[in-house]
Amino acid sequence: MYLHTGNLENAIHCCNIASILNPNHFTVWHIRGIILRKKGDFHRAKFCYARCLELKPRNIAALHDKASIHLYLEEYQQADICFDKILVLDPLNVEAMINKGLLALSVENYHIATELFNRAIKLEKDSPKVVACKELLSKIGFLFEK
């Protein structure tokens, strides 16, 4: 409740109490990570997501959250590893395809970016993120012609 109302201090306090009662509760660690990310404490949030993944290594939400922290901290290789894990667990995960494609694009790996964006387009051709991928593909095509 506190998290949804924006009362992050009370929300973190509740998480602290809950973790005393059950230090291995996935949801407590996940919510704590979300709160810390909202507060801008990215390093501690990353620790919480890592703990989540120790408890549930195949949890896609925690992998996405950890990847987003890595991106914010400019830890691109670690973010890419998270996206790879997501795509192993869920090969049709469009969000991971797009984010991995954007990472590939940022290091000028146009072939990988093109492949990932095309896969995403085939799965969700009308979503706003995929429409943006189509625009990126037209720009990538221009780069191939150079």
- At CB < 8 A and 24+ separation, what contacts does 102-108 make? 103/76, 103/79, 105/136, 105/140, 106/76, 107/76
Residue 49 · residue 69 · CB < 8 Å: yes
pLDDT digits (tens, 9 = 90+) for 86-143: 999 999 999 999 999 999 988 888 889 889 998 998 998 888 888 888 888 887 775 5
pLDDT digits (tens, 9 = 90+) for 25-36: 899 899 999 999
Is 146's pLDDT higher than 50?
A: no
Task: Give which of 119, 89, 42, 57 is closest to 99, Cα–Cα.
Answer: 119
Provide the whole-model pTM: 0.81
Domain ranges of the chain: 1-75, 92-146
Residue 76 · residue 88 · CB < 8 Å: no
d(CA 7, CA 13): 10
CATH architecture of 1-75: Alpha Horseshoe (1.25)
